Amino acid sequence: MKKKAIFLDRDGVITVERGYAISSIDELELYPFTAKCVEDIKEQGYLAIVITNQSAVAKGLYTEDDLKHMNQLVMEQTGIDALYYCPHHPQGIVPKYTMVCNCRKPKTGMIDQACKDYDIDLDNSYMVGDRACDIILGQNVGIKTVLLNSGYGESGLEEDCSPDMIMDDLREFTDYLIRYRSKD
């Protein structure tokens, strides 16, 4: 049986957006409401899956091992089901990660892999993010999209996009999910 998923961007959605200011695990800050929101998502019958571009690896700001430690902390402290990341960037300085890939949002590689790993029902799934690339990714795979203003949001969009919904933060989205599901 296929599973519904809420695909979540990391920075600006479940962690405080700091741009490239995060250079170590000590600077990674979860929103205080993240774990409760993930719990609410799962209680509504969805998988909670993080889909995140992390080009700081390609740009030499930290190593992939540093990123893996950050990801492990995020998973332990939030209860998310899975976390997929893209360490690549075409203008990186670390040769191993300097490339055009199919996983960098808004390309669909990370969601494609999650669908293979978890048998995702895209017709009943959402992409929740704070940037245009998150919204365009959701549109590229044909799922509902939610733009949050807790990170870059409406005022920081790097290109035009049309999300299905715009909300303040992950709390508002999970409240919506609970209300929406209670109507079933």
- Residues assigned a catalytic role: 9, 11
Helices and strands (H and E) in the chain: how many:
5, 6
d(CA 174, CA 118): 21
Provide the residue type at 151 as one letter: G
d(CA 32, CA 120): 28
d(CA 75, CA 57): 19
Phi-psi region at 53: left, alpha or beta (left = phi > 0; alpha = psi -120 to 50): beta
Q: Residue 175's CB: how many other CB atoms inside 10 A?
A: 13
Residue with tokens 């293979």: 116
d(CA 89, CA 77): 28
* CA max distance for the chain: 51
Q: Residue 38's CB: how many other CB atoms inside 10 A?
A: 23
